[in-house]
Amino acid sequence: MDQEEMGSGGVWPVVVRLPVEPVEAAVEADAMDAVVQVDTLAVRGPLFGVAAQSVEAEKRPQWQVVIAVTADCPQTARDSLNSLLWFRAKDDAQDRTERRALLAAVARLERERVDELTVLGTRYRIVRAEEYAGMDADGIEQPRPTDPEPVRPDWDRATTEDPIDDGLLLDPDAPITPAQAAERLALRTLAYTGSRFPDDVRSDSQRAVVTHPDVLLLPATFSVVEQAAGGGWMSASALHGSAHEARKTLDFSLTWWEPRRRGLVPVGAHRDVDARTLVAEGVDPAASELAPYAEAADQLRAGRVNQLEVEGTVYRIGRTRRLLRWGPDGPEGPRPSDISRHGPERIHPVLDEDGNILPEDEDNEAESSI
């Protein structure tokens, strides 16, 4: 389906397919159970990333995520696009013509708040998603039984996780399951209405329902949330692509970060020193205070634990979701009311036309020639 075949009001028809494979059917059953258990949705705020589309394919609706939709402000996503194009110019450009085009785009991103640009036949756009989570009487939704888990959990801190949204295709034509369709249709009218949101934020949100009337659901993400006695749930980690990676972050926080933050382990201690090692040795004066942290982290490694309490703080692996608004021209970009904490700036050394990094004293001359 191309853009001329969109339904009335610029909304894409939803193509529904019934899950037939056993695993997919189980995932669908989990999703239906969640609908019953969740009392409300908590909107956590916007996230930003970068999607790309070939100029030759712009009459078709598909875009591909090239920078994960996890940044907390538009400029962070622009900076990531800057890096993507800079490294492509440095390592992948086939000739000077390609490198000039890439470096010209980098130069724009260093000076301007660019939300879309076309380079070498590819259209790049800063895209905006809304992060939200299901809530019930017990708090934020936890991982579902059918969310992906590794067969053999890897707790090695040196191991990197698979990137979120890696190669994700954004396609409003793609068939979806009944539960996904119900969620997608229900969220089409989602807009900020609470008085805690500034007027311009509410206005932009209501306008987006008209300009980008459809929504696409992105894969679930997971993070550590925490709740101190008598308080609400607070985010305590970055987003991860799996519940296990969030548990791995919590393991690090309990054994390494929290002991240092609380002064139980010297900040300058060797990186291998943590609550586990000091409790195992049993000679450190803080060993007894570190024991609850080491024991809690050991619980994480004993099974798929999604919640535990340490020293009056409840830690939970929270399951969050993201929706991306979609209009006649594709995914929504940043809104005027979206705030960036910093402006455009140069974040990489200057390259010449041959891909060589120039010394600092040659930077100004090279920049003036781009």
Quote the pLDDT of residue 366.
Answer: 53
Amino acid identity at 48: F
> pLDDT at residue 80 above 70?
yes
Euclidean distance between CA atoms 202 and 33, whole angstroms: 32
Q: How many residues are there in the chain? A: 370
Average pLDDT over residues 329-339: 97
Predicted local confidence at residue 56, as pLDDT: 80
Average of per-residue pLDDT across 6-16: 71
pLDDT band for position 230 (50/70/90)?
confident
Mean pLDDT computed over every residue of the chain: 92
More confident call, 278 vs 57: 278
Distance of CA 356 to the CA centre of its chain: 33
pLDDT at residue 370 greater than cutoff 60? no
pLDDT at 147 over 90: yes
- Per-residue confidence at 177, pLDDT binned at 50, 70, 90? very high
Q: Which of 320, 160, 298, 144 is nearest to 225 (CA)?
A: 320
Which pLDDT value is given to residue 10? 62
Task: Report pLDDT for 58.
Answer: 65
pLDDT band at 367 (very low <50, low <70, confident <90, very high): low
In this prediction, residue 360 carries a pLDDT of 76
> What pLDDT does 9 receive?
56
Taking the model in full, what pTM does it have?
A: 0.91
User: What one-character DSSP code corresponds to residue 16?
Assistant: B
Which pLDDT value is given to residue 1? 45
| Mean pLDDT within 179-202 | 92
State the CB neighbour count (10 A cutoff) for residue 33: 13
Given a cut of 80, whether residue 349 has pLDDT beyond it is yes
| % of the chain surpassing 90 pLDDT | 81
Whole-angstrom Cα distance, residue 26 to residue 224? 25
Q: Are 134 and 47 in contact (CB under 8 A)?
A: no
For 151, half-sphere exposure in the C-beta direction (CA atoms, 13 angstrom radius) is: 0
Q: Check residue 151 and report its DSSP letter.
A: S
Upper half-sphere CA count for residue 62 (Cβ side, 13 Å): 10
Query: Tokens 């591909």 correspond to what residue?
Result: 64
Tokens 């996890």 belong to residue: 70
Residue 184: pLDDT band (50, 70, 90) is very high
Out of 192-196, 262-266, 307-311, which region has the weakest mean confidence (pLDDT)? 192-196
- The pLDDT assigned to 3 comes to 47
Rounded to 10 degrees, the C-alpha dihedral 198/201/204/208 comes to -130
pLDDT band at 38 (very low <50, low <70, confident <90, very high): confident
